[in-house]
A and B are shown apart, each in its own frame.
Chain A
């Protein structure tokens, strides 16, 4: 190894230097602090508003907390959140798979890209509410209603995100793969998919947030369970604290998915960036 070539270190993960668990967690806590301050600020402002208004339309924090405890105590919250998450997962995975497949085909064939462009534009402009209503009418109260609604709601914006990612794939790497005669599977696995990881991750996040908006409408209009249905029930009985409690419970679940699952996946898929900068 030459003197000029030995500036980099082998890719070995750096360990925290002493101090145990606290040193390992300190950066994460520091990163979470601004978000926590924001939440506390919003809660404080809400409490001030509730005490000022003294209205059942603006319940105070204690009342909302009481509702959350009531929903959690009977296991109802867990059951209903589970039902909604199951529907989101099915529709989300199917919509994601369809968007990736169509995106790949569109990237390979300009003709196919032009062929599906009107459908993508239509999908981007039609509100989720319309898909929810139509699917309730077409499919009734079965599982097909939420799944198809979510697919129709998330596939078009996902397709746009994935197409952008595919356009950003480095043509020099594609040439390299061609020269070294990588198989099609190797090109997709080792060149194409890793190149579009940032786009796929943002696509998954986008899909989750859109799917949540669609599923609430579907459950509200056409189903007899799930978080959307429960929100409507609380709304019908003018229980604002109940509406807020369901919203907060689901928000916590989504935050757990983001910070637990999504960030874990992101860390794993982008490990090379961190290790490269050591």
Chain B
């Protein structure tokens, strides 16, 4: 596997007004490059355009102007805010389907289920699992395809704080095994500091980069590392 860069070139996006909602240009000539193997976190106020950028990289939205390059026909995994599992299929089938669609062996998916702590739960149906377990399945699914790009859309915002902490550590472990290129959208500045190589703080309308913070801390990182608090403080100072 080779990680692929993600490049946003002069991207523009305007949402048309509907009813009382006015027409809004949220992105204009927006440039951003995420290097191969880099994990970049986007933070910023709600509605700033973070998710729009992520959806463009995922192919779920198109830009009005400019271009988003993800290297063509790349293997792309994604972890959503909700696990988005197929509740009528077993845990293992949910993971296998992604592997089948990507044309890779399902063996890695089976190994990953054990790695994420779901050994013995392969035959279970998603609704029989806790929220944290379901998100573990979603992580296993995203990494089962040997991804070149992984997109993370507020992946741990729907679980409790303790589960989120465990899942972040798990994500770090999975990432370190074979780092793909990553784009993380989050409201959690500590999460951004802990996981990312670089944090981009967005602000204004249309959105622009108001701060770019490199996180030059070695991995694996500890959530209790005091250096992370300093980065977290810098991010917060630009957000408030």
Contact = CB atoms under 8 A, between A and B. Distances in A.
Contact of B88 (A4, A9, A172, A194): A194
A22 interface: no
A44 to B, nearest CB: 44
B160 A275 contact: no
B41 interface: no
B136 to A, nearest CB: 7
A179 B145 CA distance: 12
Contacts, number: 104
A179 B117 contact: no
A275 B117 contact: no
A167 interface: no
B87 A272 contact: yes
- A10, A182, A194 pick with most chain B CB within 10 angstroms: A10
B120 A10 contact: yes
Contacts of A191: 86
Nearest to B90: A11
B11 to A, nearest CB: 19
A1 interface: yes
A194 B86 contact: yes
A21 interface: no
22 contacts: A1-B118, A2-B163, A4-B130, A5-B117, A5-B133, A8-B128, A8-B133, A11-B121, A11-B123, A11-B125, A12-B123, A172-B84, A173-B86, A176-B84, A180-B76, A180-B98, A181-B102, A186-B101, A190-B86, A275-B128, A276-B128, A277-B127
B4 interface: no
B128 A11 contact: yes
A183 B163 contact: no
A182 B101 contact: yes
A272 B166 CA distance: 28
Size category, A interface: 20 to 34
Interface residues of B, number: 42
Contact of B124 (A10, A176, A183, A190): A10
- B117, B120, B132 pick with most chain A CB within 10 angstroms: B132
Nearest to A269: B88
B89 interface: yes
Interface of B: 58-60, 76-78, 80, 82, 84, 86-90, 97-98, 100-102, 117-118, 120-130, 132-133, 136, 141, 145, 151, 160, 162-163, 166
A173 B84 contact: yes
Given A5-B166, A10-B124, A10-B128, 4 more contacts: A2-B132, A9-B124, A181-B101, A197-B88
A8 B78 contact: no
Nearest to B58: A179
A-B pairs with the 4 shortest C-beta distances? Answer: A276-B127, A11-B124, A276-B128, A176-B84
Contact of A10 (B100, B102, B123, B132): B123
Interface string A104-130: 000000000000000000000000000
B97 A190 contact: yes
Nearest to B87: A272
A179 B123 contact: no
A272 B125 CA distance: 6
A32 to B, nearest CB: 28
